[in-house]
Amino acid sequence: MYADDICMDYSDRNRKVKVSAWVKAKTPKKFLEYNRKIYPPQAIGEEPRPAFVCHQKTNLKYSPKKLWYVASFVRGMTVDEAVKQLSFVNKKGAVFIKEAILEAQEKAVMGHNVEYKSNLWIAESFANKGMVVKGIRRHARQRMGEVRYMYSHYFVRLEEGKPPKDYYKRNDLTPQEQLDAWMEQMRKRKITNSY
């Protein structure tokens, strides 16, 4: 039995839509809902909330493991710097990410009240696994092997303002202070079922 054999007709406002029983929606929906969130008004003297925009590119014909390296490369950069750096990255995923960042930048200016398009930085940048299409590869002696064609989703969140000095927030303690803190933590341990 093939997917074409198991099809149902649904009428949607006077038009027929053919939907396969095996086909599911393969695109994520929740990440873009952050764009529709409405925040309460801010109090006087409260630190202003920076504008942000979330954007995604779905079902890219590229492995998510390979896309992850490029996605984590641009985290914490300004948009202009990320586009400049991605122009020199010799990977197929760099093209996808560069397009997504430029689309998100345009979206921020047009629909999210961002005044200057160069005043944005990349707050989040990550890749997820998309659909996997399985195929067959012929081997010797009439044997078959499985081939997996990987797809991936890319997500980016741009935020207004200047990027932080250190995005990954490394430990501010000196090595000796780290050792002292660890020793103190070890001394405070409690052995279970003891006094």
What would the 3-class secondary structure string for the chain be?
CCCCCCEEEEECCCCEEEEECCCCCCCCCCHHHHHHCCCCCCCCCCCCCCCEEEEEEEEECCCHHHHHHHHHHCCCCEHHHHHHHHCCCCCHHHHHHHHHHHHHHHHHHHHCCCCCCCCEEEEEEEEEEEEEEEEEEECHHHCEEEEEEEEEEEEEEEEECCCCCCCCCCCCCCHHHHHHHHHHHHHCCCCCCCC
- Whether 12 has a pLDDT exceeding 50, the answer reads no
pLDDT the model gives residue 113: 86
Burial of 38 (0-12, 13-18, 19+ CB in 10 A): exposed
- Whether 171 has a pLDDT exceeding 90, the answer reads no
Measured CA to CA, the distance from residue 19 to residue 55 in angstroms comes to 28
pLDDT tens digits along 31-79: 999 999 999 999 999 999 999 999 999 999 999 999 999 999 999 999 9
Measured CA to CA, the distance from residue 13 to residue 18 in angstroms comes to 14
The first and second tokens of residue 71, run together, are 């996605």
pLDDT the model gives residue 26: 66
Burial of 82 (0-12, 13-18, 19+ CB in 10 A): buried
